Structure 1
């Protein structure tokens, strides 16, 4: 059985992502933090280290090739997914992690401190409360259905900015709930899912 570092290296090669050794070590240090804090804070239902590499690190990094340049907001960041892995992979990109849960915000601030994520800002707040249109890209993973998520994210995007929503098997149902014009304007990309099962879907919405 392969170790988490070996699984990470294999997965990065499959995604076509080249990260320095220090970045790979930082990704694994993040998983270690997630495991330790998970015992008390219940940040993720995934507890097996090998599965965490695939479902958390690689699944988050799979959207990296689709990110437009500029400031990124991770909406409803939770345990930092996909925001923390993306911040590690792209240390020059300004990244804001937003979550309303005090315990999750405490964890994210600890991640920022221990992992040396100088370009990361952690904010406690409600994703549905609106916000300033200052981001080129908003990411969201398991936050809300598209019919709720798009109007939640759009006010935070600059004109021409993009929402990248990470979705799973229910994506067809969510698309069916949208007005026809909105659904037709979305892009859909299949991503390597957890364990390579191909069931991870990226939905891209562009603000006019």
Structure 2
């Protein structure tokens, strides 16, 4: 290493994602060195773009690994279980991440389970630009970036009832989320909704809406994100009947 390279190394030490690596081991998710490099690149680009566009309030390396990457990946064992597959799942499911923001959970799930096909949906132009940049930067295949609102594309035949799996980490009330998500789910497909500590009460309030929209609640699973103490739940809803044409309402 030349003196110039040494100075660069000191100013910009290499990024290591130890928490991500150990967390994936705890979750039973295989993670190759190439996939780790993709996560590092994702983190670097997130920081660079965040300086201009304020994509996320979470930028510290440890928090990005836990509150963004591992929090996104905690659902993968559930996905594999629903499919009756080992980790990572290898079926080419058609998935959509609603309100994806900076690509969470869609991009982390794509990186560790490349067989999944993803549509990344968000309503904000700056986030769409970042997402398209990341698709190109990480050379992701079978990933479509769409700008729009769930209540709009849910009435569009191109998207309605077109997905095996729908995900959302949004903070909207569950009764609102299910109206946006279930119209997008195919019959026998399912929705995975990431929620926090208030989930049991929200779950009870949303049960009637879930049934009206053609869903059947399979389960509400406590999700232990490695290195996080905050309580998490993932609500799994199976689509068993077509959603009435009235929904989603604008």
Alignment of 1:27-176 (within 5 A): 27-67=39-79, 68=83, 69=91, 70-129=93-152, 130=154, 131-176=159-204
Structure 1's consecutive aligned runs of 4 or more residues displaced over 3 angstroms after TM superposition are: 179-184
Q: Give the gaps of 5 or more residues in structure 1.
A: none
Unaligned runs of 5+ residues in structure 2 are 1-14, 84-90, 241-250
Deviations 1:29-86 (A, max 9, x none): 1111111111111111112111101111111111011124511100111110000001
Q: What TM-score, normalized to structure 2? A: 0.77
Aligned residues: 206
Distance (Å, rounded) in 1 between the aligned partners of 2:143 and 2:112: 12
1:194 positional shift: 6.3
Deviation at 1:108, TM superposition (A): 0.3
Cα distance between partner residues in 2 of 1:181 and 1:77: 23
Closer, same or farther in 2 for the Cα pair 1:180/1:124, shift >3 Å? Answer: closer
Cα RMSD, aligned residues only: 1.9
Structure 2: how far apart are the matches of 1:134 and 1:181? Answer: 20
**Conservation of the 8 A alpha-carbon contact between 2:224 and 2:232:** yes
Distance 1:133 1:181, change over 3 A: closer
Shift of 1:176: 3.3
Q: Per-residue deviation at 1:198?
A: 5.3
Bigger radius of gyration among the two:
2
Partner of 1:177: 205
| Kept in 2: contact 1:141–1:165 (CA 8 A) | yes
Shift of 1:170: 2.1
Moved more, 148-157 or 170-179: 170-179
Q: Deviations over 1:104-141 (max 9, x none)?
A: 00000000010111121101111121142110000000
What is the CA distance between 1:144 and its match in structure 2? Answer: 2.1
CA distance in 2, matches of 1:133, 1:173: 28
Alignment counterpart, residue 202 of structure 1, candidates 226, 234, 239: 234
TM-score with structure 1 setting the length: 0.92
